[in-house]
Structure 1
Amino acid sequence: MKPLEERSPYAVGLVALAGLAALAVVVVLLSVLSFGTTTYSAVLSQTAGLREGESVQVAGVVVGEVRAVELRDTDVEVRFTVADDIRLGELTTAEVKVATLLGTHYLQVTPRGSGSLADDTIALERTSVPFNLEDVLEQGTDTLGELDAPGLARALESVTGTLRRAGDDVAPALESVGRLADLVAERSEQTGDLLGSVERVSTMLHEDSEDVLALMQQTTLVLDEVTSRREAIRRLLERTTALSRSLAGLVEDTRDDLRPALRDLNTALTALREEDETLQSLLSTLAPAVRYVANAAGNGPWLDLYARPPVLPSDDQRCALGDCG
């Protein structure tokens, strides 16, 4: 194999360009294709602010994202992806929902019906948006038609006359409003930064909604456990109160019987105390005698005894009596 420096630089350049082109094609394919997902379409009467890259949810769980929003003849086609393990039936519906107050949206898909979605497209009659400009105009026209035009004219004339008479007061108010508008214009960048921060916070909360929901569920379990323990403590207090009332009633019912028994018990205790004092005195007196007996029997299993000769005869006297042996 030839070293790289011996090869033609033009050939090396062409191979490098071809490799870069192949890499670019792979990157584009990876960004367009979705692995593990299926691409569907939904026909909307208008976008209602839905943008590419916003999420697709089923039962509140994010299962895909909006890939493209394209304008057709009289309506809008939205292409979106959904995880392969979710089956969309032939009656599946789609609705554009507002995610936050700052204008973010998501496409809510509700699987319905049996079979599969025809042409992988949700028809216009099974889609909806948060508002429809045509419906608003029609309802507004009907409402305006019901207004009392002469009465409205008289009201406007009254307002005009009031403003004319209060011109001196209205002018300072309008000047204050103008200064307020100037102040808002001067602080527009700060207001924009504030709104951007609020949007980021809202997005973060939306992304962490599952964790917040799990935390709320854990909190609910803790509250349920505390409630059950509180109920157990309440039952214990009720039973303790009932027991104390029963004991109080028992004492009240047996008071007449207990009083003589306690009096007799007191008498018995007094007699026992007197006998105890007698026994203590007897033990105190008996102790020296027992000590002397113990001293006398301390040489062996006999007692030392001393008596004068008339009491116990001597050996000579016993021999005289014939008891020498």
Structure 2
Amino acid sequence: MSRPSRHPVLAGVLGLALAAALAVLAFNADNLPIIGGGTTYTADFTEAAGLRTGNEVRVAGVKVGTVTRVALHGGVVRVGFRVKDTWVGDTSTVAIRIKTLLGDKVLALDPLGGASQNPRTTIPVSRTTSPFDVTEAFGQLSDTVSQIDTDALARSFDTMAQTFRNTPDSVKGALRGLSDLSRTISSRDTQLAQLLTATKQITGRLADDNAQFQALLADGNLLLAEVQRRRDAIGALLTGTQQLAVQISGLVADNTATLGPTLAALDRVTDVLQRNQDNLTRALALAGPYYRMVGNAIGNGRWFDAYLCGLVPDSYLPAGTAPSSGCVPPRTGSTR
């Protein structure tokens, strides 16, 4: 049985169409109703202030969406942004704020109003705010100063001074000051250019390290959170200790009637022992030799070693064995 023939051209066309469809879905995943979601709004600003596509949209410091479009629309800048699971009122305000010291921006949304904002209605300029970008201002200043012909400026001030040489002294003094200012700027042109170039390099370097600064700030937030958790744990420990002290105080108060007589009797026992301390010390001192002698008496077997003195007169004893005084057992090798 022969297999049905395949059409490689048709299979290739279908494969390319499927790959293109998948690519389109991948690029527009955020717009899909299930895996994407969110609502898109637009707002007009007087200037973009460095806001770019992909910047965060935050409500009370919490990220709720991203900026999807920044484009010029007539005499204003129209910004499109998408938010998810966030209510936007019909009097909400939107502001472009500085996220970091390096000039990164964030779109801050303040949801206000009694009704929901219509996504098809653009938020007007009266409800938006743009910040002053210091980094961009420095960059523009550097570009502007670099384009100034300081020599021509100095010559123009000199020409003006010569033209107004017959004017009153106040006018000549002002023009002379402008001429001196132009000469000073001209003499410092190289230093100013180097300074502004270095400033631009520093801002660029800081912008390149923006991710590291963000990671540092994130680590600082983690550290503060850990300190907060430790503080809560210590607070719980102190609270538990206080509760334990209260319970112990209650236990002591409940058992005072029982513990009082016991402690009083124990006090009397310690008084008796204190008064008889000398007798007990002497008894313990005598008990040692006594028990040692008892041990010596019964330590040789199942009998008692004993010594009887005085039964036999001293005259019957061998010479040198009788004690000189008293009844003392003889010692081996003794001279007495």
TM-score (norm 2): 0.50
Q: Which runs of 5+ in 2 are unaligned?
A: 134-168, 242-270, 305-336
What is the Cα deviation at residue 19 of structure 1?
5.1
Counterpart for residue 106 of structure 2:
106
Over residues 198-228 of structure 1, what are the superposed CA-to-partner deviations in whole Å (9 max), with x where a residue is unaligned? 2243245447755642431212333565688
Equivalent residue letter for 1:88? V
Secondary structure at 1:115 match in 2: coil
Does the alignment pair 1:2 with 2:10? no
Secondary structure at 1:220 match in 2: helix
Alignment of 1:1-325 (within 5 A): 1-4=4-7, 12=9, 16=12, 20=16, 23-24=19-20, 26-28=22-24, 30-32=26-28, 34=31, 35-83=36-84, 85-118=85-118, 119=120, 121-131=122-132, 157=173, 175=187, 177-181=188-192, 192=201, 195-206=203-214, 212-223=220-231, 269-270=277-278, 273=281, 295=303
Q: Which runs of 5+ in 1 are unaligned?
A: 133-152, 234-261, 297-325
Residues 273, 293 of structure 1: alpha-carbon distance in 2 compared, 3 angstrom cutoff: same
Count matched residues. Answer: 232
Secondary structure at 2:209 match in 1: helix
Over residues 128-157 of structure 1, what are the superposed CA-to-partner deviations in whole Å (9 max), with x where a residue is unaligned? 21259xxxxxxxxxxxxxxxxxxxx97994
Equivalent residue letter for 1:66? V
Equivalent residue letter for 2:5? K
Rg bigger for which structure? 1
Residues 160, 101 of structure 1: alpha-carbon distance in 2 compared, 3 angstrom cutoff: farther
The CA distance in 1 between the partners of 2:49 and 2:290, in whole Å, is 113
Percentage identity across paired residues of the two chains: 24
Residues 22, 115 of structure 1: alpha-carbon distance in 2 compared, 3 angstrom cutoff: farther
Equivalent residue letter for 2:42? S
What is the Cα deviation at residue 105 of structure 1?
1.2
The CA distance in 2 between the partners of 1:292 and 1:21, in whole Å, is 115
Residues 155, 286 of structure 1: alpha-carbon distance in 2 compared, 3 angstrom cutoff: farther
What is the Cα deviation at residue 127 of structure 1?
1.6
**Structure (1/2) with the larger helix percentage:** 1
TM-score (norm 1): 0.51
Residues 36, 178 of structure 1: alpha-carbon distance in 2 compared, 3 angstrom cutoff: same
Secondary structure at 1:53 match in 2: coil
Secondary structure at 1:89 match in 2: coil
The CA distance in 2 between the partners of 1:103 and 1:295, in whole Å, is 108
Over residues 264-321 of structure 1, what are the superposed CA-to-partner deviations in whole Å (9 max), with x where a residue is unaligned? 968x54455556666667767778887999648xxxxxxxxxxxxxxxxxxxxxxxxx
What is the Cα deviation at residue 58 of structure 1?
1.8
Secondary structure at 1:121 match in 2: coil
Counterpart for residue 136 of structure 2:
none
- Pairwise CA RMSD: 5.1
Equivalent residue letter for 1:105? K
The CA distance in 2 between the partners of 1:223 and 1:288, in whole Å, is 70
The CA distance in 1 between the partners of 2:292 and 2:282, in whole Å, is 16
The CA distance in 1 between the partners of 2:283 and 2:15, in whole Å, is 119
What is the Cα deviation at residue 95 of structure 1?
0.8
What is the Cα deviation at residue 96 of structure 1?
0.8
